[in-house]
Amino acid sequence: MGNKHLTKAKDAKDDEFYTNYEDIKAELTHYTKYFKGKVIYCNCDDHNGIGLGTPKSNFIKYLADNFQAFGIKKVIATHYEKDKKTSTMYILDKDNTGDGVICLEDVIEIPMQGNGDFRSPECIELLKQADIVITNPPFSLFREYVAQLIEYKKKFLIIGNKNALTFKEIFPLIKNNKIWLGYHSPCNFTYKGVPTKKVAGLTRWYTNLENSRRNELINTGKQYRGFEDMYPQYDNYDAINVDKVSDIPMDYDGVMGVPITFLDKYNPNQFEIMGATESEGKGFSNGLWNEQSHITQPLINQEKRFKRLFIKFKKGE
């Protein structure tokens, strides 16, 4: 099952995709300094088998495997029971087995009053207790899910569809440095108990925890002067087109239209995000769009191009 099937499932609001242990490990190892003494909440967890000797939640597995090494204070996990009135929460905060080690076997199960929907009052009360939220939320509810995290001012590491970058509810958060991307693109998921084929590029880690990647400068070595033909002006936007992040000209002071993959390398100290193509939301272009064109997709010689972000170098960079 590749990108095509994952996209179809998303469109059908089928959110039963669970994250691979190695993908979790690859990302979370970059943020371990944030976990010491913190309460971590996984509020969209895969519950099957937790505490029954055959746990399947890879988020719980990874956090339990590293509970003491990271100095975590407490892990809480809840899950949504679609066809039931009640659910179960899972807690890891002490050595319940008495073997001197806090690990997966020390996870305890506690009955919940409701079905574990992250929007329920019961789960919101748990959210208020948390310092950091780490999970793979339902793609179909991503906008609402992120809005809740922002409302309650939570730190987070979550997985979302790449296309969410230009959602009208998400892009302003990206533009204003309220949310940014992590290090990796999760590649492997389990769908209805079956491992999917690699889906590299379709998903991203979203976070508001600082990471070193945001401090890396882009230096492509490319120039605009003398190579103007490589960077045509849009017909309907006041910016030049750059087809690849690796082609960003280092000597251009004006506005550039770049692919959304730019956000994988975005350094807020080097660049300013001006906006995005108007097709992503009303007012997204920040005045760069020529309304008389009546076409919101970027045009070059009247040919449509894919969605673009508009950026420019910060002064002094």
Q: Is the pTM of this model over 0.85?
A: yes
Q: Which of 7-21, 48-62, 237-251 has the lowest mean pLDDT?
A: 7-21
How many CB atoms neighbour CB 2 within 10 A? 12
Closest of 304, 301, 303, 274 to residue 287, by C-alpha: 274
Closest of 277, 275, 278, 271 to residue 312, by C-alpha: 271
Confidence at residue 192, expressed as pLDDT on a 0 to 100 scale: 55
> 303-304 and 299-300 as β-strands: parallel, antiparallel, unpaired?
antiparallel
Using the predicted structure, report yes or no on whether residue 263 has a pLDDT greater than 90. Answer: yes
CA distance readout (Å), 65 to 14, 102, 168, 186: 30, 9, 38, 20
Closest of 166, 125, 184, 157 to residue 59, by C-alpha: 157
For the residues 143-150, what does the mean pLDDT come to?
Answer: 97
Confidence at residue 6, expressed as pLDDT on a 0 to 100 scale: 42
- The two tokens of residue 109 are 């199960």
**What is the percentage of the chain residues whose pLDDT exceeds 70?**
85
Q: Which backbone phi and psi does 69 adopt, to 5 degrees?
A: -60, -35
Confidence at residue 11, expressed as pLDDT on a 0 to 100 scale: 41
Strand order of the β-sheet with 189-191 is 17-19, 189-191, 194-195
Helix residue ranges per DSSP H, the chain: 3-11, 21-28, 58-65, 67-70, 121-129, 142-151, 171-175
Confidence at residue 181, expressed as pLDDT on a 0 to 100 scale: 96
CA distance readout (Å), 274 to 130, 171, 178, 188, 317: 33, 11, 15, 33, 16
Confidence at residue 37, expressed as pLDDT on a 0 to 100 scale: 98
- pLDDT, one tens digit per residue, over 177-222 is 999 999 998 876 665 555 555 555 688 999 999 999 999 999 999 9
Q: Which residues of 119-139 are buried (b: 16+ CB within 10 A; e: fewer)?
A: ebebbeebbeebbbbbbbbbb
Say yes or no: domain 3-214 is CATH 3.40.50. Answer: yes
Domain residue ranges of the chain, discontinuous segments joined by +: 3-214, 228-313
- pLDDT, one tens digit per residue, over 14-40 is 455 668 889 999 999 999 999 999 999
More confident of the two residues 282 and 75: 75
Cβ-contact 285, 276 below 8 angstroms:
yes
